[in-house]
Amino acid sequence: MAIQKKHGKGRLDKWYRLAKEKGYRARAAFKLIQLNQKYGFLEKSKVLLDLCAAPGSWCQVAAEYMPAQSIIVGVDLSPIKPIPRAITFQSDITTEKCRATIRSHLKHWKADCVLHDGAPNVGAAWVQDAFSQAELVLQSLKLATEFLNEGGSFVTKVFRSKDYNPLLWVFKQLFTSVEATKPPSSRNVSAEIFVVCRGYKAPKRIDPKFLDPKHVFAELADPTPNNEAKVFNPEKKRRRREGYEEGDYTQFKEIPVTEFINTTDPIAILGSYNKLSFQQPPGGDLAMSTVDRLEDTTDEIRMCCEDLKILGKKEFRNLLRWRLKLREKFGLVVKKNQPQETEAEEVAEIAPMDEELAIQEQLLKMREKETSRSKKERRKENEKKRKEIVRLQMHMTTPMDIGMEQIGPGGEDATFSLKRIDRANARDAVTNARDIPAESESEDGSGSESEESDDDGDRLERELDTMYEQYQDRMEDKDSKLRAKKARKNYETEEWEGFSDENKGSDNEDEEDEEDEEDEQDTAASAHPAPQSGSLSNNAALFFDQDIFQGLGDEAEEEEEEEEEEEEEGEDEDDIEMGDEEEEEEEEAPAPKQKKQKQASKKQESEWVDDSEGEVEEPEDPRKANGQLDIDIITAEAMALAQSMATGEKRSQDIVDDGYNRFAFRDMDGLPEWFLDDEGQHSKPHRPITKAAAAAIREKMRAINARPIKKVMEAKGRKKFKAAQRLEKLRKKSALLADDEALSERDKSQAITKLMSKATKKKPKQQVKLVVAKGANRGISGRPRGVKGKYKIVDSRMKKDIRAEKRLAKKKQK
C-alpha cells in the first residue's frame, strides 16, 4: 500500500518514523503491538492466521511476540515479501481458493488467533468504503469460524458506520468477550476501530444468516413507531443521524414549510436543511396554500426560508416565532390552562403529551442553562461596576450613582425596576400601556396567553443562546486565533476584585466571606470617590496610560510641583531646618505610581501586538533606556495617525477629542452576547488610512519579513565568532614562529603557509552510514555491531520511498 505523505491521513507521523527505525514494514505494526499489550493474545497463540496481511508488519510483530516454533500464515491480495517464520501467499480472502490454500497450509491445526486488518479501496466514496469493509470483516469472521480453535481470539478492524452495531452483535453471539478499542497509534481522523473478540464459542453449527451480509446489514424496521408524530404528519420520514440518507447524497436539502410548522423539533430542521419550500406538491396541499396566504407569512419570512444557511440568530428567532403563531392558528398548540373538554377531538389525545414532553425538555434545558446564565450575569454585573468606576474616575458620574445601583430606582431591590420588567419581556407592554384597553386582559384571558408565548419565546431564546455558545465552542476548537482572542477577552473581563488592599478599609480583611467583602468593596467605592492611579481598574489604568495622557499628566504634575515648590519655598523660609530624609521621601513617593503605569502600558502594548497577530505573546519591555515608550507602528491606521501628527495636521488635543465618539462608552447592559460579539467586530471607528501610510507599512513589513530568523542569525553569529577565534589563534602562532630566531626566513614563511592552508582547509563532511534493519540488525535499539561514526537505520522500504521521492521531484522539474 503506497502511503501518501503530504496531507492529513498520509502524514508521516512518529509511528511512521518509529516503524522505519524498528524495521517494521508499516506503521500499522504499532496498532497490533498496542492491542497485544492490552489483551495479550499473541504470547498465548501458537498458530496465527493474518488475513489482509500486506505489506506484512502484523506478521512481523506476530513473529516477534509469539513463542518460537509458532505457525504464522499471512494472506493478501497484494504480494507480501518473505517474512522470516511466516508463510505468506497472495489471494482474495473472499474466495474459495483462498480458504482451500489456508487449509493446505494449516493442515490439521486450528488457529489460536485470527487477525484481520483489511481495508478495501480506502479513499473513494466513504459510504461505499465502509460497507465493503464491513463485508470484508464478515468474510474474515467466516474464515475465523472455520479455522479458530475453541477459546481462540479474533482481532479485526471495523469502520464506525451504520454497520458497526450489527457486526458487534454478530461477534457477541460467537465470542464470550467482545471489546472495541482504538489504539493510540491509530489516527484520530481515521474512522477505524479495532474489535478484539476473545473466547471463541466454537458452536457446532452456525446459521449461515449470521455471516451473510444481506441479513446482517439488512435495515431493521423501527420497533417503536412514533404514532404521535404520525397523527400530525403521516408521511414524515425517520431522520437518519448517521449521515446521508440512503439514496440521497446531495448537500442541498429542502423541506416543505408545512413540515417545519408540524414538527416537534423545529431547531433540528433549521439546523439540517437549506431551504423551507412553499412549493405546492403535484396534487396540491391545502395547508401549504393557507401558510402561503396568511398575513403572518411576510416577505421577510419568505426570504429567510429561501436560504437557512445564511441566517443569523435574529432571523432564526423570527422564523421560530412565526412557526409558533401559525401553530396556534392551526390549533396545533394547546394551552396548558385550557379545559380538557373544549379541546378538539383529534388534538385532545395527542397535544398534552406533546406539551408534557416539551415541558420536560424545557426543564432539563433550563437547569443546564441556569449555571451558565448565573455566571454570565455575574460577569455582566462586574463589568457594569467596573465601567461605573471608570466613569467616576473620569468625572462622568457622581459617586452617588454607585450607591444608587444597589438601592436606588434602577437597582434590583427597587420597587420600580425597568430591568425586571424587561426580563419578563413586558417592557413593550409598559410603554404601550396607553393603547391597551384596561378590561381587555381580564375579559378574554389574553394575559395568560401572552405569558405563555413569553415562555415559548424565552425557551427559544435560551435554545438559540445555547446553540450560539455551541457554535462558538466549535469555532474555537477549529481556530486557535479565536481561542487566543477569547482568552484575552476573558482576561479583560475577569471578575472584578475591587480595589487593591491599600484602598480597602482596615476592617476589610476577612477573605473567606466573599459576599461581605464585595459589599465592603462597594462601600469603599462610594467612600473613596477619587481613587489614585494605583487603584485604577485595568481598563482605567490602560486608558490613562495612553501616550496622550502622558504629556497631560506631566503638565498637571509639573504645575502641581511648581505650586508645591512655591509653597516649599515659602515654608523653607519659615522652617529652614527641614530634614534630608523627609525630602527623600517626597521624591520617592511617585515611584510606585510610575511602576504601575509602566506595567499597564506594557499590557496595552502587548494587546496591540496581539490584536494584529492573533497570538498571545509575552509582552516585552515597551520602554527605551530613556524611559520613553518604544511603540512600534505596525498598522496603516497608526502610521496615518503618526504622519498627521508629525506634519502638524493633528495635535494631541485633537486625538483626545477623537476619542470621544459614538463608539466610546457604549451601554452594553442587558445586550446578548452574540450581539456584542457581532458589534465588536463591525461597530468600531474607521480611521482614515492614507496611501503613503499603507505603502510605508507595507515596506516596513517587507523589511521585517526579509530579516533572517533568530536561529539563523545566531548560527551565523556563532560561525563568525569561531572564525574570529581561529584567526586569533593563527595570528598568535604565526607571531611565535616569526619571533623564533632558530628558524630561517624561508622556513618561517613555509611554516606559516602550512598553518594557513591547514586552517582554511574544510573538514570533509562525515558520511552517514546506512544500516539496513534486517538479519541481526532487525529491531535493535542503539548502535549496530561493527558500525563506527554516524549511522542511520533504514529498511528497504525507506530506500524505495526516497527513490520515489526523487523520481517525483524529477518529474515535477520536467
Ligand X SMILES: C[S@@+](CC[C@H](N)C(=O)[O-])C[C@H]1O[C@@H](n2cnc3c(N)ncnc32)[C@H](O)[C@@H]1O
Candidate list 112, 117, 517, 605; residue touching ligand X; CB under 6 A: 117
Nearest to residue 115, comparing CAs of 181, 36, 9?
Answer: 36
To ligand X, the closest distance from the beta carbon of 216 in angstroms equals 17
- Whether cis (ω within 30° of 0) applies to the bond prior to 590 is no
Candidate list 4, 37, 78, 226; residue touching ligand X; CB under 6 A: 78
Candidate list 55, 498, 531, 622; residue touching ligand X; CB under 6 A: 55
DSSP per-residue codes, 183-221: -TTS-TTS-EEEEEEEEE---S---GGGG-HHHHTPPPP
Q: Using the rule CB under 6 A, give the single segment among 55-63, 405-413, 481-489, 551-559 that binds ligand X.
A: 55-63
Angle at the Cα of 591 from the Cα atoms of 585 and 594, rounded to 5 degrees: 155
* Contact criterion met (CB below 8 Å) for 74 and 59: yes
Q: Please, what is the angle between helix 29-39 and helix 14-22, to 10°?
A: 90
Candidate list 70, 76, 322, 334; residue touching ligand X; CB under 6 A: 76
Tell me whether residue 120 or residue 553 sits nearer to ligand X (CB atom). Answer: 120
Residue 92 in contact with ligand X, rule: CB under 6 A: yes
To ligand X, the closest distance from the beta carbon of 808 in angstroms equals 22
Tell me whether residue 129 or residue 463 sits nearer to ligand X (CB atom). Answer: 129
Q: Please, what is the angle between helix 547-574 and helix 652-659, to 10°?
A: 110
Residue 54 in contact with ligand X, rule: CB under 6 A: yes
Residue 93 in contact with ligand X, rule: CB under 6 A: yes
* Contact criterion met (CB below 8 Å) for 141 and 166: no
To ligand X, the closest distance from the beta carbon of 55 in angstroms equals 5
Q: Which residue has the cell 521521492?
A: 805
To ligand X, the closest distance from the beta carbon of 207 in angstroms equals 24
Q: Using the rule CB under 6 A, give the single segment among 21-29, 379-387, 492-500, 504-512 that binds ligand X.
A: 21-29
Nearest to residue 449, comparing CAs of 356, 328, 354, 317?
Answer: 328
- The binding track of 131-160 with respect to ligand X, each residue x by CB under 6 A or -, is -----x------------------------
Tell me whether residue 25 or residue 142 sits nearer to ligand X (CB atom). Answer: 25
* Contact criterion met (CB below 8 Å) for 459 and 333: no
Tell me whether residue 57 or residue 521 sits nearer to ligand X (CB atom). Answer: 57
Nearest to residue 680, comparing CAs of 397, 488, 423, 471?
Answer: 488
Tell me whether residue 155 or residue 525 sits nearer to ligand X (CB atom). Answer: 155
Count the Cβ atoms, other than its own, within 10 Å of residue 50: 29
Nearest to residue 194, comparing CAs of 161, 166, 159, 170?
Answer: 159
Residue 58 in contact with ligand X, rule: CB under 6 A: yes
To ligand X, the closest distance from the beta carbon of 115 in angstroms equals 7
**Distance of CA 647 to CAs 70, 641, 651, 699, 805, Å?**
88, 10, 10, 20, 58
Q: Using the rule CB under 6 A, give the single segment among 46-54, 219-227, 419-427, 630-638 that binds ligand X.
A: 46-54
* Strand, helix or coil for residue 154: strand
Catalytic residue among 22, 31, 142, 157: 157
All three cell numbers of 158, joined, read 471495523
Number of residues that bind ligand X (CB under 6 A): 23
Q: Using the rule CB under 6 A, give the single segment among 20-28, 387-395, 397-405, 722-730 that binds ligand X.
A: 20-28
- The binding track of 263-302 with respect to ligand X, each residue x by CB under 6 A or -, is ----------------------------------------
Task: List the interface residues with ligand X, window 558-617 (CB under 6 A).
Answer: none
Max CA-CA distance within the chain?
A: 131
Q: Using the rule CB under 6 A, give the single segment among 41-49, 50-58, 298-306, 538-546 that binds ligand X.
A: 50-58
Element (H, E) at 486: helix 480-492
The bridge status of strand 254-256 relative to strand 275-277 is parallel
Residue 197 in contact with ligand X, rule: CB under 6 A: no
To ligand X, the closest distance from the beta carbon of 121 in angstroms equals 8
All three cell numbers of 653, joined, read 488635543
Candidate list 25, 485, 596, 797; residue touching ligand X; CB under 6 A: 25
Residue 62 in contact with ligand X, rule: CB under 6 A: no
d(CA 2, CA 460) in angstroms, rounded, equals 52
To ligand X, the closest distance from the beta carbon of 713 in angstroms equals 45
763: annotated active-site residue: no
Q: Using the rule CB under 6 A, give the single segment among 47-55, 333-341, 522-530, 588-596 that binds ligand X.
A: 47-55
Q: Using the rule CB under 6 A, give the single segment among 24-32, 41-49, 717-725, 791-799 that binds ligand X.
A: 24-32
Tell me whether residue 77 or residue 548 sits nearer to ligand X (CB atom). Answer: 77
Our measurement of the distance from residue 411's CA atom to the centroid of its chain's CA atoms, rounded to an integer in Å, reads 39
* Contact criterion met (CB below 8 Å) for 536 and 513: no
Element (H, E) at 145: helix 126-147
Residue 53 in contact with ligand X, rule: CB under 6 A: yes
Candidate list 34, 36, 45, 57; residue touching ligand X; CB under 6 A: 57
Strand partners, 197: 154, 178
Query: Three-state SS across 20-84?
Result: HHHCCCCCCHHHHHHHHHHHCCCCCCCEEEEECCCCCHHHHHHHHHCCCCCEEEEEECCCCCCCC
Residue 30 in contact with ligand X, rule: CB under 6 A: no
To ligand X, the closest distance from the beta carbon of 123 in angstroms equals 12
Tell me whether residue 29 or residue 170 sits nearer to ligand X (CB atom). Answer: 29
d(CA 555, CA 563) in angstroms, rounded, equals 12
Q: Which contacts (CB < 8 Å, 24+ apart) does range 692-697 have?
A: 692/643, 693/636, 693/637, 693/639, 693/640, 693/642, 693/643, 694/636, 694/639, 696/639, 697/633, 697/634, 697/635, 697/636, 697/639
To ligand X, the closest distance from the beta carbon of 61 in angstroms equals 8
Strand partners, 159: 192
Tell me whether residue 136 or residue 402 sits nearer to ligand X (CB atom). Answer: 136
* Contact criterion met (CB below 8 Å) for 319 and 270: yes
Tell me whether residue 91 or residue 493 sits nearer to ligand X (CB atom). Answer: 91
Q: Which residue has the cell 556563532?
A: 718
To ligand X, the closest distance from the beta carbon of 10 in angstroms equals 13
Candidate list 71, 114, 118, 605; residue touching ligand X; CB under 6 A: 118
Candidate list 28, 102, 130, 174; residue touching ligand X; CB under 6 A: 28
Q: Using the rule CB under 6 A, give the single segment among 25-33, 488-496, 524-532, 585-593 that binds ligand X.
A: 25-33
Q: Using the rule CB under 6 A, give the single segment among 48-56, 265-273, 471-479, 677-685 that binds ligand X.
A: 48-56
Residue 120 in contact with ligand X, rule: CB under 6 A: yes
To ligand X, the closest distance from the beta carbon of 120 in angstroms equals 4
To ligand X, the closest distance from the beta carbon of 80 in angstroms equals 8
Candidate list 86, 102, 119, 320; residue touching ligand X; CB under 6 A: 119
Tell me whether residue 139 or residue 277 sits nearer to ligand X (CB atom). Answer: 139
To ligand X, the closest distance from the beta carbon of 473 in angstroms equals 34
Residue 52 in contact with ligand X, rule: CB under 6 A: yes
Our measurement of the distance from residue 562's CA atom to the centroid of its chain's CA atoms, rounded to an integer in Å, reads 57
d(CA 499, CA 522) in angstroms, rounded, equals 9
Tell me whether residue 42 or residue 464 sits nearer to ligand X (CB atom). Answer: 42
Q: Which residues bind ligand X (CB under 6 A)?
A: 1, 25-26, 28-29, 52-58, 76-78, 92-94, 117-120, 136
Which residues are catalytic, by number? 157
